[in-house]
Amino acid sequence: MCTILRIDSLTAVQHIAQWSRMSVLEHVAENVRRLRQAAGLSQQALAEASEVSRRMLVGIESGDANVSLNTLDRIAEALGVKFADLVQAPTGAGRDRIEALAWRGRDPASRAVLLASVPARDEVEFWSWTLMPGERYTSFADPAGWHEIFFVIEGCLILELPGGERRIDAGDFFVFPSDRDYAYRNDGDAPLRFVRNVVH
């Protein structure tokens, strides 16, 4: 398991400014193509194994597709690699500092950055998220056994779960099994920033 460390708002803002220079899913196209070829798979074979359309896979490998995090999870599983292997720099030395921008919302300031990933039973992902006012991120259920752990740095996070909504204010944290559909939402009038661990 992994412990979330508190990050002061000034540090978070400085890091977010640095990440804003990255392009969304900067390394995914190269990594997916390289890993698919190393596995000896055609695009059609990988599409079938990951239950992703061949058209989507062609778009991902050419850098033209706006791909969801769930789709990347399925591709990683089909390739027998970790999510981090798809988004980190191909020449990256390790997963303790990935800092890869993996999702961007309608507002360019809404983003999810994969900071690091360390082994747990399988893997632990460490994320930094920003949602601007009115922004919402939806996710399908993860496999059984997966959990999310997050800590709100600034603003108020509304977590939508099948059993209802939960409000998590700045300075508070929450842990929940993510084997169900869920969504993050910012109903406030200021940016929402939080760190998130995905644990299996």
Query: pLDDT tens digit string along 106-127?
Result: 887 888 888 877 777 777 889 9
Q: pLDDT at position 3, please?
A: 32
Query: What are the pLDDT digits (tens) for 154-181?
Result: 999 999 999 999 999 999 989 899 999 9
Which has more pLDDT, 60 or 200? Answer: 60
| Statement: residue 61 has pLDDT above 70 | yes
Lowest mean pLDDT among 35-44, 103-112, 189-198: 103-112
pLDDT digits (tens, 9 = 90+) for 132-141: 999 999 998 9
- Picking from 74, 95, 97, 114, the residue whose alpha carbon sits closest to that of residue 196 is 114
CA 103 from centroid of its chain's CA atoms: 7
Residue 22's pLDDT band, with cuts at 50, 70 and 90, is very low
Distance CA 69, CA 74 (A): 9
How many Å apart are CA 179 and CA 176, to the nearest integer? 9
Encoded tokens for 159: 């977590």
- Looking at residue 130, its pLDDT comes to 97
Q: Residue 184: beta bridge partners?
A: 137, 159
pTM here is 0.64
Q: What is the pLDDT of residue 165?
A: 97
Which domains does the chain possess? 9-23+95-199 (2.60.120.10), 28-87 (1.10.260.40)
d(CA 194, CA 10): 13
